[in-house]
Structure 1
Amino acid sequence: MGVTLLIFLLVYVAMGFGKLPGFKVDRTGAAIVGALAMMVAGSISAKAAWESIDYSSVGMLFGLMVVSAAFVVSGFYGWTAQKVATLPVSAPVLLAVLVAVGGLLSAVLTNDVVVVAMTPLLVSVTLARGLNPVPFLLGFCFAANTGSAGTLIGSPQNMIAAQQLGLSFNGFLMVAAVPALLSLPLVWGLIVWLYHGRWTSPQSEREHPVAATLTAPPLDRAETLKAGVATFLVVLAFVVSDWPRDLIALGAAGILLINRQIASSDMLKHVDGNLLLLIMGLFVVNAAMAATGLPQSLLNDLRGAGINLNDPLSLFLVSGVLSNVVGNNPAVMLLVPFLEPGHDRALADALGAALALGTGFSSNLIVFGSLAGIIVVEQAAVCGIRISFGEFARAGVPVALACMAMAVVWILLIGM
């Protein structure tokens, strides 16, 4: 048990710090090494390790990543970024449009893919207008995180919770969509207040040669239409059918990969394989830890202290804290096995929504609270725009706290 606990702790230290201290091992590497170490140490058998991986969650996530990638290769994201950022409007109005676009796109498509595709282009077009890219990048990132909490397909952690708890698309939407939508004006208002008088950039686009050379691929209307029809049919199937969601997503991915114009390799390179491997590794690590009985003992201690994870408000607060310690995807994977909604579908949807809102809204606190935050900061740096940990937090903390306070009120009002 001691070796199992040590491996588990080292893996989640890496989740929190972004790498294993002293080694060049990132989160994905730590999850894979941890899974292998659990098997070598005898904490879990090879057969049990394979069986612990929820392939329906992984399959659904992979399929929806391919669907979202179809919009990347068709030029839709780049076309959207350029159209929005070149609107003849004031900076606050432009920010409002970007917040709305980021939140709504992320609710339908995987938020991380949306952020990856849009960040470099937003840097380029804001600099071209003589604007400071930082508030627009932060607003877009925050909106992508909070907006994605509104649907089962908005983020990887939502998909994991959906598959593990057997959530219904409609039930989840009814309890999560309203706070997700309400979060968007909160994000906009706070960014406008924080960056009042700091909309213009002291540097020109010419001083950022990397950003200046960024151009979006031309919009392929036929491929965009194809991706749009596939997305509509996927969502429709989620809403009206009882087909397995992983098969729906994988079926759509298979259809989109069969293409005479775009190589399948060009689409697949936009699939986040590292994230898929991280999730698979954590399934094994968590299963090995669960076999020791320690998590169950800790859960009983929490219940004794008055913290019941099967209460939506308690789960919302615990998941919000935990996601900023180890990351939102690992936090959901840690918590889901201990949720027991039974046959109460309404409770299951409420618990899923509490997880999505807790991890989605709190993930804006600090850079490392979400993969979207890391992507924005790192890609902006490549383009010559520095967003420091402090600057991110100065905007992220009030945004996260305001959104979480609103969500608490919502949970209390509807009695989730």
Structure 2
Amino acid sequence: MTVQIVLAIAVFVTAYVFIATEKLPRVLVALGGAALMVIIGATDDAAVFFSESTGVDWNVIFLLLGMMIIVGILRQTGLFEYLAIWAAKRAGGRPFRIMVMLIVITAVLSAFLDNVTTILLIAPVSLLVAQRLGKSPVPFLLAEVFASNIGGTATLIGDPPNLIIGSRAGLGFNDFVLNLAPIIVVLVGVLIVLCRVLFRSTFAFDESRVDDIMALEEREAIRDRSLLVKSLVVVGLVLVGFVTSSLTGLEPSIVALLGAGLLFLLARLEPRKVFGDVEWETLLFFAGLFIMVGSLVNLGIIDAVGKAATEAVGDNYFGAATALLFGSAIISGVVDNIPYVATLAPLTQDLVQSGGGPARALWWALALGADLGGNLTAVGASANVVMTGIAKRNGHPVSFWTFTKYGLIVTGVTVGLCLPYLWLRYFLG
């Protein structure tokens, strides 16, 4: 092991400890770690800015930026207040019923939209609902981000790692739905039960609050009907652009930026109002994280770990599926699952090609492990980072360990249930 590899691992581990312990601002740690990776030669400017596999994922950065601008403008219309009141009234003001509604809506949306986009759209509603109920929004936000990572696993376009797997394996939209949607429906139900137990103190019923909520008129929350119509038209066009991106060739990031630019022109708001809602710290944190993880990929560290794991299982494909499922869940909870899947996909392809039909289940093991493992920690998935950023910005910070305390349980149960599913469907008999 070279000195450079040792230093890179030391930088990454140290940065991760600081992020986990929150002794320093996470954006400072991520950017500082990225700078040290460059200084020790683990990466360079070409790899950082221009490499798809080892640099900043600009598609993610600009998708976030575009959607943050759109959501910021949409917030000016009063739509989120409208939805918050509507949801609370339909649920009779009962917190658990509201959480169930939000979990189901988030999971369904995440199957057809990027998880980050879903969180950006749903989180403002949750903040307002919690405020009306006099509750902390943290349990609602946590439940939604868990639901987004679970729901996004069901389809080709629901989670970025699935796009990588689909491209490498030649799998289409219907393949993902047929193979993953059945277990995901079960896992969403399991998540609802888990949330009932994990957040039970949140569901205390306050009759006075309910009376106040039921007396509200949601239509009065709309502040600018003209801007609302324009915003909904643009959001509709953006969603169509996301769904048809495989046909048009436009990346979701480009669609989001085009939508943000169009809505900015139509809204005619002051730039300060529009750009004031952008989570700049979150974007910079992402950039630093991408550079640090990309440095490990660049030095072959992640590749070496993956090869060692695959060589250990030989032709025992159920063993390989088990290793991929749990190994991917653990690693994806520590590093972003996009570069991880990009690294493991070629190795999985080799195993599938050598094993034929019985080995095709390895693709689904990789997808389930990498996607569901994103719920393990606050940095395991892009949606998690965005959610914690929104929570902090609104005065409800979610610590790394608070997230992990709940994420560990959700991940352990959901990933654990995937193992019998894989065995029964692909290996039994």
TM-score by length of 2: 0.72
Does residue 226 (structure 1) correspond to residue 234 (structure 2)? The answer is yes
How far did 1:331 drift? 4.0
Write the distance in 1 (CA, Å) between the matches of 2:37 and 2:384: 26
Whether the 8 Å CA contact 2:307–2:347 is kept in 1: the answer is: no
Equivalent in the alignment of 1:144: 148
Is 2:426 the partner of 1:415? yes
Whether 2:95 is the aligned partner of 1:84: answer no
In the other structure, the counterpart of 1:109 is 113
Q: Give the Cα–Cα distance (whole angstroms) in 1 for the partners of residues 56 and 358 of structure 2.
A: 20
Q: In 2, Cα distance between the equivalents of 1:235 and 1:348?
A: 30
Q: Contact 1:103–1:144 (CA<8 Å) still a contact in 2? A: yes
Looking at structure 2, the residues matched to 278 and 390 of structure 1 have their Cα atoms a distance apart, in angstroms, of: 21
Partner letter of residue 122 of structure 1? S
Q: Label 1:28 to 1:389 Cα distance change in 2 as closer, same or farther (>3 A).
A: closer
**Which residue, 247, 261, 278 being the options, matches 1:257?**
261
- Match for 2:370: what amino acid? T
CA contact (8 A) 1:153 1:159 kept: yes
1:306 alignment partner, one of 304, 313, 329: 313
Query: What residue is the counterpart of 2:34 in the other structure?
Result: 32
* TM alignment of 1:116-131, pairs within 5 A: 116=120, 118-119=122-123, 121-131=125-135
- Distance apart, 1:325 and its partner CA: 3.1
Tell me how far apart the structure 2 counterparts of residues 217 and 7 of structure 1 sit (CA, whole Å): 55
Any unmatched runs of 5+ in structure 2?
A: 210-220
Q: Conserved in 2, the CA contact under 8 Å of 1:364 and 1:396?
A: yes
Deviations 1:245-278 (A, max 9, x none): 63x6525643552343146963793686336624
User: Against the structure 1 CA distance between its residues 303 and 229, is the aligned structure 2 distance closer, same or farther, given a 3 Å change threshold?
Assistant: closer
2:151 and 2:188 in contact (8 A); partners too: yes
Q: Is the 8 A contact 1:68 1:110 kept in 2?
A: no
Distance 1:190 1:343 in 2: 35
Cα-to-partner distance string for 1:114-159 (whole Å, 9 max, x where unaligned): 4355445423322322445444333222212211222344345445
Of 179, 198, 202, the match for 2:183: 179
Instruction: State the match for 1:210 in structure 2.
Output: none
- Cα shift at 1:316: 1.7
Are residues 319 and 218 of structure 1, via their aligned partners in 2, closer, same or farther at CA, if it must alter by over 3 Å? Answer: farther
Q: Secondary structure at the match of 1:102?
A: helix
Kindly provide the CA deviation profile for residues 280-332 of structure 1, in whole angstroms up to 9, marking residues without a partner as x: 52575145312xxx665554543443278984442221111112333544544
Within 5 A, what are the aligned runs for 1:211-250? 220-238=228-246, 241=247, 244=249, 246=251, 250=254
Give a deviation string over 1:194-237, Cα, whole Å, max 9, x none: 444651389x99xxxxxxxxx99757123212221331243134
Q: Which letter does structure 2 place at the counterpart of 1:8?
A: A
Name the structure 1 match of 2:217: none
Residue number among 258, 283, 294 corresponding to 1:273 in the alignment: 283
CA distance in 1, matches of 2:108, 2:89: 19
Residue in 2 that maps onto 1:4: 4
Change (3 A) 1:117 1:216: farther
How much identity, in percent, do the aligned residues show? 20
Q: Compared with structure 1, are the counterparts of its residues 295 and 201 closer, same or farther at alpha carbon in structure 2 (3 Å cutoff)?
A: same
CA distance in structure 2 between the aligned counterparts of 1:58 and 1:257, rounded to whole angstroms: 21
Q: Distance in 2 between matches of 1:56 and 1:263?
A: 35
Deviation at 1:357, TM superposition (A): 2.3
What does residue 398 of structure 1 align with? 409
Deviates more, 1:308-317 or 1:179-188: 308-317
SS at match of 2:105: helix
- Aligned equivalent of 1:211: none
Sort the Cα spacing of 1:351 and 1:393 in 2 relative to 1 into closer, same or farther, 3 A: same
- Aligned equivalents of 2:303 and 2:43: distance in 1? 17
Aligned length: 396
Of 284, 288, 299 in structure 2, the residue corresponding to residue 289 of structure 1 is 299
Residues 158 and 352 in structure 1, CA contact (< 8 A), matched pair in contact too: no
Q: Equivalent residue of 1:74, what SS?
A: helix
Where does residue 16 of structure 2 map in the other structure?
16
The answer to whether the 8 A contact 2:352-2:362 is kept is no
TM-score (norm 1): 0.73
User: Relative to structure 2, which stretch is displaced further, 265-274 or 190-199?
Assistant: 265-274
1:176-197 deviation per Cα after TM superposition (whole angstroms, max 9, x unaligned)? 3333332221111121234446
| TM-fit CA distance, 1:29 | 1.2
Equivalent position SS for 1:340: helix
CA contact (8 A) 2:309 2:323 kept: no
CA drift at 1:94: 1.5
More helix per residue = 2
> Helix, strand or coil for the counterpart of 1:53?
coil
1:149-180 deviation digits (Å, cap 9, x = unpaired): 22344345445555676653443333333333
C-alpha contact 2:230 2:266 (8 A) present in aligned 1: no
Distance in 1 of aligned mates of 2:146 and 2:180: 17
Q: Given that residues 55 and 290 in structure 2 are in contact (C-alpha distance below 8 angstroms), is that contact kept between their aligned partners in structure 1?
A: no
**2:100 counterpart residue number:** 96
